[in-house]
Amino acid sequence: MAISTTIIAAVFMLLIPQLLGGAINDAVDFLDDANADRDDVRRELLITGLLLFGASVARGVFTMAHNYMGESIGQHIGYELRMAFYRKMQRMSYSYHNHVHTGDLMTRGMLDIEGVRLFVNTALLRTLLLAILIGGGTFLMIRTDVVLGLISLSFVPFVAWRAITARLKLRFGWRTLQERLSILTRVMDENLAGIRVVRAFAGQDYEMRKFNRVSDQAQAMANELIGIRVRNTTFMTFAFFTAVVAVLWVGGLKVIDGEIKAGTLTQFLAFMFILQMPVRQLGMMVNGFARTQTSGTRLFEILDLDPVIKDKPDAKPIAINEGVLRFEHVDFSFMDEFGDERILRDVSFEARPGHTIGIVGPPGSGKSTLAHLVPRFYDVTGGRITIDGQDIRDVQLESLRHVVGVVQQDTFMFTSSIENNVAYGDPWAETETIHRATTQAQLHDWVRRLPRDYQTLVGERGVSLSGGQRQRLSIARSLMLKPKFIIFDDSTAAIDAATEQRIRAALKEITNERAVIIISHRLSSLMHANEILFIEKGEILERGSHEELIALGGHYHDLYELQIRPGDDAVEHLGSAADAPTSSGSDEAEDADGN
Amino acid sequence: MATNADNVQQGLRGANRPPHAVVGSQVERDEEMFGKAFNGHVVKRFGGFLTPYRTLLIVAIFAVLGFTGTQLAIPIVIQSAFDNALELNNFDRDLLVQLSIVLAAVVALNYLFNFLQEIIVGRVAERVLFDLRRAMYAHLQRVSLSFMDRTEVGRLMSRLQGDVAALQEFLETSVFAIGDFVLITGITIVLIAYDWRLGLLTLTVVPALLLIRIIWLPRARRAFLGARESSSRMNGALAEGINGVRTVQGMSREEVNAALFEEKVDVNLKAQLKGTRYGQIMIPTIDTLTGIAMAIIIVVGGTFVLDRSLEIGVMVLFILNVQRFFDPIRALTMQYSIMQRAMASGQRIFEVLDVPVEVEDKADAIKLEKTDGSVEFRNVTFGYNRDQPVLQDVSFKVNPGETVALVGPTGSGKSTTMSLIHRFYDVWDGEVMVGGHNVKDCTQESLGHEIAMVLQEPYLFSGTILENIKYRREDATREEVVEAARAVGAHEFIMKLPDGYETELEQRGGNLSLGQRQLISFARAIVADAKILVLDEATANIDSYTEMLIQQALARLLQNRTGMVIAHRLATIRGADRIIVLQDGKIIEEGNHDQLMAEGGLYSRLYSMNYASFDDIPDELIQAAIEGDEDKVT
């Protein structure tokens, strides 16, 4: 269908100069021949005029149909590719997303899909159109007059060659310019976002120099590109008009010599004007092919990826009886280009309903990684994690993630209402459920005070939340899923101790019947835990209750001293250290809360 | 219990009510795309940016006119060849050769003018774009922070990028519009001059085309805009899906999101096809009009030829010209939209450029050098909004080498005080003195050299760690940098990074932890080697390990320097030589720890609550302490 409209459109395009030339020849013939019947010629002109009109309309309609169909097919293919890409992105594991740049994925998801899409509507159909036009035109002209035909077409190779080479140069230059512009964007964006730092260090002049440097580089490239483009387009026009001069000259002589008629000459000229555009597009086509090839390769590279973490073929939904989570000699290391870096080594523990496990350790000790293993954001590299005896790698991923709630350290705010953000994991939740979760997370009162209540927009373009508010929202969000296992991944660091205490009290009911893991560097968040693991460099160094660990006098004890005693000057101020607080802040808050 | 996947299976709206779910931003564009087609102020200000290129632009306009002239001349020469050299039974070989040479000359001129106009206009427009952007950027470096505080970065970026591009496009198309206008006028004149009957008849298609364009344009523009918006929303949703992928997976939202995304992709498909329909409908329209014009020329013109009242060459001239009407008309009607967009953009750009620079160096500003590092506030009153003073009549003096801690509840004016030392804002009343000079009398540059700041949010730039620690002091040696990093305890982790000090930081230092970023910003403050060090809640938000490192470093940092510290840790506060307690913008207590404890005021009440940090104290208790309500506190 699309192909037939293309062919018809091309035929009508070729017909028009034929008709024009014919009309002129009729007129010339008449003037040439004294005996000709004026009315006959008039009738013929009238018919030609009508045919011309009809051909023009038909050309327009079929060109439109040809373009529209091409576009439509392209858009539908784009549709499929986009959905496939999006699904793939959502399924790829953490380890993939950690290593791939978001910008790169966006380029593929936007530009490469566009590239492949354009290939269908421009490249495929347009190439057919061009082939018919140029082929048919060449045939018609050469049949009429070989020499003149060749001269008329002499501009074609020039223009095509220039179009191809210049396009290649332009494409390269364009990419460089894009890169330079994105550096410029980054410089400007960083400067404006960090304007306080810039001012604080009186860095305006320095920043201005930096800006000028990258701006000048971008400008130089932009200038060069304009040069290439202009030299190129003007040359193509010139080549074309030069051919026109030659046709007039040679053709005129041929008319004088009686070899051809004046109308035929007109026909040649009209042909040339019609062929001018398609020939320019020819260069674009060639590039389109080249570009599509790269785009297509880059795109399918991603679509063919297989997520590392996925369901086994015979995976069943997870079955929860008791609700016991066990780490059995778990090892974990990131396998990547930096080599085999051991993050966790032989970690074993058991979390049963009503029990709280606290995990503490210095930054980089592997605490967060541990949290990410339970919902299988990563898979263990040694040992196993079981839930009620089932290895989590043997159950359906979705069912596993449904029972495991990880309250993330820094959760992502989607640009949407607070309500939608809280209900992110359970979009069909009732309003009461949402309010209960926010109340438990101590967020409800704050939301109530917002101008638009639960409909207030948050995220990139909405109300900006403080770190503590984000973390409370993150808690509420996880509570919505009613998980059987709750893991707080350093998710209260930005919440003040008193509020944290209130959250803990509100969650009592839930935590009493579930296994809870609290990861934190703030001891007041986890010293109430039934068992505390002190982790360093991926290994459990100490374990036991708060009292046991304090009595042990090891790493945990030192950390406790550091956090509760007022810093290292305590040594110098031993006298005042005596009256410094000896109990934790949260205990005090608990008392205060009780009052 | 129904999972998300089940619900999606039933159809997104299939459950008892629509889900609380969206993907991508649902926010409408808040910036006006199109303004009035003409705005005197914008044009005048824009004119200012063109002045340096006046001569070039005049040359460009001549080139445009020259180009248009040759465009008109080419068919005329061809016509003349047909009618004079190729006239039936009256061939003139010499004339044909001559005319061919003339045509060749015209074509050569055409090439020259074409090249000139394109290259000058293209390059000048590009330069103006960069000039505008530079001017705006330079201005933003100097405008008051209060403007920057209330303006989103994204908004400024869209002015620096999108809006300047709209003005560039405007400049470029305006010059060519002159050519288009002349070309249409020229063609009209030529056609009428050669045969007014046929000319007028042929030209009847022009008003028809204009009319169609005028009706078509606003609708088509809406369709095109719709297509663009739906596409940007779709891509926004894609970006969100990639950026938030961890949350998506953690919440098992994949199925719901895919279904919602599909809706967006579908809307986009429809909008794109609608745009295509609008775009493509012009093709048969123009072809129909061309067909009418050509039919008129053939039938009517042909009859004239038969009557011998028209020469064949003129007919050819008409045919060659009739196809050339349409491009300039299209360009000219588009010009209106471009102008509207340019005016709206221009208004936004000049709005930014017109923001007054409040804090400016005096003409005779002195350069601070080797001051003693003292800081003094004399009866300072200041606020961000009129009638709402944040600081009232604040006076204190910090002696060289002394460390002073500012303490007070949220909103008491601690951070504001810090900003004033650096003259981020000008005080309403009173004086801020640094090294014995009023900050208003010093150059801001030299003030920046005297004061180094560490802010609560460590802000790093992309580039290597080395570059970030040096920051403005490009002349700092590597040894200085390493020494500073050692002093704050950052050296160890830096050396563990794959490229050590040469490690490239991701945007905002994303590949470092918050604590590590803060350590680097401490090192940066040391390398800046300023007499006065200002720490604005620099140790909030970081883990206790890093804080320990910083605590140890602080003593070294403050050696031989004047320190102004806002801190939440009691340890830091207690170690200060002097503590100033602020409340509601006024100093209520002042003295060292022991003195204040003895005084029994707000400080001692807060301190005796036994919190490790003032930030941990719940608001109610602070309020109680302020009110001095001992019962509630204990």
At residue A441, the 3 state secondary structure works out as coil
Query: Which chain A residues in 293-322 lie under 8 Å from chain B, judged by CB atoms?
Result: none
| Cβ atoms of A12 and A55 closer than 8 Å | yes
- Which of A87, A204, A419 lies at the smallest CB-CB distance from B20? A419
Gap between the Cα atoms of B362 and A568, Å rounded: 46
Name the closest residue on chain A to residue B314, using Cα atoms: A24
Q: What is the mean pLDDT of residues A94-104?
A: 78
pLDDT above 60 (res A574): no
Identify the residue with better confidence: B435 or A33: B435
**A281-298 CB burial, b ≥16 within 10 A, e <16:** bbbbbbbbeebbeebbeb
| CA A214 to chain centroid | 25
| Cβ atoms of B546 and B519 closer than 8 Å | yes
Residues of B in contact with A86 (CB under 8 A): 238, 241, 257-258, 261
R_g of chain A computed on alpha carbons: 37
Confidence band of A85 (pLDDT split at 50, 70, 90): very high
What are the residues facing A359 on neighbouring strands? A519, A533
The answer, for A240 touching chain B at a CB cutoff of 8 Å, is no
pTM for this structure? Answer: 0.77
Write phi, then psi, for A453 (nearest 5 degrees): 60, -135
Name the closest residue on chain B to residue A520, using Cα atoms: B543
3-state secondary structure B576-594: CCEEEEEECCEEEEEECHH
Q: What is the mean pLDDT of residues B564-582?
A: 81
If one counts every other C-beta atom within 10 angstroms of the C-beta of residue B624, the result is 20
Least confident of A178-192, A334-348, B79-93, B268-282: A334-348
| Cβ atoms of B273 and A121 closer than 8 Å | no
Q: How far is A136 from chain B (nearest CA, A)?
A: 21
Candidates B294, B492, B542: best to mutate against A (most CBs of A within 10 A) is: B294
Write the CATH number of the domain with boundaries B37-194+341-358: 1.20.1560.10
| Cβ atoms of A299 and A116 closer than 8 Å | yes
Residues of B in contact with A158 (CB under 8 A): none
- Which of B3, B86, B133 lies at the smallest CB-CB distance from A262? B86
Q: What is the mean pLDDT of residues B430-443?
A: 89
CB pair distance less than 8 Å for A193 and B3 = no
Q: What is the mean pLDDT of residues B218-238?
A: 86
Candidates A197, A360, A431, A588: best to mutate against B (most CBs of B within 10 A) is: A197
| CA B545 to chain centroid | 38
pLDDT in tens, B144-176: 887 887 777 777 887 888 888 888 888 888 888
**B446-465 CB burial, b ≥16 within 10 A, e <16:** bbbbbbbbbbbbbbbbbeeb
pLDDT given at position B132: 92
Match 């709005």 to its residue by tokens. Answer: B351
* Tokens read off for B267: 């809307």
At residue B542, the 3 state secondary structure works out as coil
Domain with CATH 1.20.1560.10 in chain A: 2-303
Query: Mind giving me the DSSP string for A201-230?
Result: TT-HHHHHHHHHHHHHHHHHHHHHHHHHHH
Closest to A114 in 3D by CA, of A298, A255, A239: A298
CB pair distance less than 8 Å for B243 and A205 = no
| Cβ atoms of B61 and B54 closer than 8 Å | no
Gap between the Cα atoms of B272 and A111, Å rounded: 16
Residues of A in contact with B118 (CB under 8 A): 230, 233-234
Closest to A440 in 3D by CA, of A464, A407, A410: A407
- Which of B5, B524, B609 lies at the smallest CB-CB distance from A398? B5
CB pair distance less than 8 Å for B25 and A218 = no
Least confident of A296-300, A491-495, B190-194, B233-237: A491-495
Name the closest residue on chain A to residue B97, using Cα atoms: A249
How are beta strands A485-489 and A404-407 bridged, if at all?
A: parallel
Domain with CATH 3.40.50.300 in chain A: 325-594
At residue B459, the 3 state secondary structure works out as coil
Gap between the Cα atoms of A224 and B524, Å rounded: 39
pLDDT in tens, A504-541: 888 888 888 889 999 987 787 888 889 999 998 888 99
Torsion of CA B227, B232, B237, B240, to 10 degrees: 180
Q: Is the dihedral of CA A290, A292, A295, A300 positive or negative?
A: negative
The interface predicted TM-score (ipTM) is 0.81
How are beta strands B375-382 and B391-398 bridged, if at all?
A: antiparallel
Edge-first strand listing for the sheet containing A531-536? A404-407, A485-489, A515-519, A356-360, A531-536, A539-544
Name the closest residue on chain A to residue B92, using Cα atoms: A256
Q: Is the dihedral of CA B405, B406, B408, B409 positive or negative?
A: negative
Helix, strand, coil shares of chain B, percent, nearest 5, are 65, 10, 25
Identify the residue with better confidence: A570 or B213: B213
Considering the segment(s) A325-594 as one domain, its CATH architecture is 3-Layer(aba) Sandwich (3.40)
pLDDT given at position B492: 85
* Tokens read off for B602: 């707000």
* Tokens read off for A182: 């994105």
pLDDT above 70 (res A218): yes
DSSP secondary structure letter of residue B85: I
A438 CB contacts (<8 Å, ≥6 apart)? A422, A444, A447, A473, A476
For B298: left if phi > 0, alpha if psi spans -120 to 50, otherwise beta; the answer is alpha
| Cβ atoms of B324 and B286 closer than 8 Å | no
Candidates B616, B622, B632, B634: best to mutate against A (most CBs of A within 10 A) is: B616
Gap between the Cα atoms of B412 and B396, Å rounded: 16
Gap between the Cα atoms of A107 and A441, Å rounded: 38
Name the closest residue on chain A to residue B459, using Cα atoms: A194
Least confident of A180-184, A259-263, A424-428, B446-450: A259-263
Gap between the Cα atoms of A477 and A443, Å rounded: 11
CB pair distance less than 8 Å for A31 and B305 = yes
| Cβ atoms of A52 and A19 closer than 8 Å | yes
Name the closest residue on chain A to residue B323, using Cα atoms: A273
Helix, strand, coil shares of chain A, percent, nearest 5, are 65, 10, 20
pLDDT in tens, B346-364: 888 898 888 888 888 888 8
If one counts every other C-beta atom within 10 angstroms of the C-beta of residue B76, the result is 18
CB pair distance less than 8 Å for B157 and A419 = no
* Tokens read off for A134: 């140029």
Write the CATH number of the domain with boundaries A2-303: 1.20.1560.10
* Tokens read off for A511: 């935590």
- Which of B247, B447, B621 lies at the smallest CB-CB distance from A411? B247
Gap between the Cα atoms of B83 and B68, Å rounded: 23
Alpha helices in B141-163 (DSSP H): 145-150, 153-158
Gap between the Cα atoms of B340 and B363, Å rounded: 41
A137 CB contacts (<8 Å, ≥6 apart)? A14, A153, A271, A274, A275
Match 């100069």 to its residue by tokens. Answer: A17
Confidence band of A100 (pLDDT split at 50, 70, 90): confident
At residue A358, the 3 state secondary structure works out as strand
- Percent of chain A residues past pLDDT 70, beyond the cut: 90
pLDDT above 60 (res B18): yes
pLDDT in tens, A322-378: 889 999 999 998 765 445 577 888 999 999 998 899 998 887 788 888 888 999 988
Gap between the Cα atoms of A588 and B606, Å rounded: 13
Q: How many CB pairs under 8 A join A and B?
A: 474
Considering the segment(s) B375-633 as one domain, its CATH architecture is 3-Layer(aba) Sandwich (3.40)
Gap between the Cα atoms of B187 and B196, Å rounded: 12
pLDDT above 60 (res A591): no
* Tokens read off for B87: 């006239």
Q: How far is B219 from chain A (nearest CA, A)?
A: 18
| Cβ atoms of A534 and A542 closer than 8 Å | yes
The answer, for A210 touching chain B at a CB cutoff of 8 Å, is no
What are the residues facing A316 on neighbouring strands? A395
Q: Residue B377: in which H helix or E strand, if any?
A: strand B375-382
pLDDT above 90 (res A274): no
